[in-house]
A and B are shown apart, each in its own frame.
Chain A
Amino acid sequence: AQKVTQAQTEISVVEKEDVTLDCVYETRDTTYYLFWYKQPPSGELVFLIRRNSFDEQNEISGRYSWNFQKSTSSFNFTITASQVVDSAVYFCALRARNTGGFKTIFGAGTRLFVKA
């Protein structure tokens, strides 16, 4: 079975603080893909990153960075020097190549509030 757990329901930080959003996943597949999406108040899903299971290299994109650790089945997302515009719901998601079929499995999301 595929599962994505985002244990943090809501996080509130003050602008310029760093914040890490946790994501833990479960899959029996050896080939899988992990994603992060941002959902601003307007409701659309904004793609942030995709990672495949064979690439454990961490990635940095501007103020965003991702830490993928297969040993703990985690794919955490850090925003450095947070800004008010980062306020949104963030979803971690999983697609498994063989056992997951065609669907993307989403976590419950973490709502991030960044206060000025």
Chain B
Amino acid sequence: EPEVTQTPSHQVTQMGQEVILRCVPISNHLYFYWYRQILGQKVEFLVSFYNNEISEKSEIFDDQFSVERPDGSNFTLKIRSTKLEDSAMYFCASSELGTGDYEQYFGPGTRLTVT
């Protein structure tokens, strides 16, 4: 069964460094998403992406964040200058289309630790 994959599974970085989290969505899916889960808290929506542009973003997704689909398979989340509070699990998801009747498939997550 096709699945969303994410690399790395765990990333440790120093405050102020740039990080890129990578995701490979399911191949025939057109909508891509990033969610964040701070340890012990709920999963929060960051951004959705369709047709090479952001379709929706939350207030968390400020200028420090950017997303890109650099080629036909990868979908990346970049954090320009990491802060301690960026430490969280980041989940990528994809769906065939954007409406709610299409399942969002979640990847296994990347645990980001900022020291």
Contact = CB atoms under 8 A, between A and B. Distances in A.
B101 A97 contact: yes
A95 B100 contact: yes
Interface string A99-116: 011111111110000000
Nearest to A108: B42
Interface string B97-115: 0111101111111010000
Given A33-B101, A102-B98, A103-B58, A47 B44 contact: no
A7 interface: no
A43 B89 contact: yes
Interface size classification for chain B = 20 to 34
B104 A104 contact: yes
Contacts of B43: 45, 91, 93, 104, 106
A49 B23 CA distance: 24
B18 to A, nearest CB: 24
A109 B38 CA distance: 13
A103 B101 contact: no
Interface string A1-38: 00000000000000000000000000000011100010
A97 B99 contact: yes
A95 B107 CA distance: 18
Contact of A47 (B33, B103, B107): B103
14 contacts: A31-B100, A32-B100, A33-B101, A43-B111, A44-B106, A45-B109, A47-B105, A91-B42, A96-B100, A97-B100, A103-B33, A103-B56, A106-B42, A108-B41
Interface of A: 31-33, 37, 43-45, 47, 50, 52, 91, 93, 95-97, 100-109
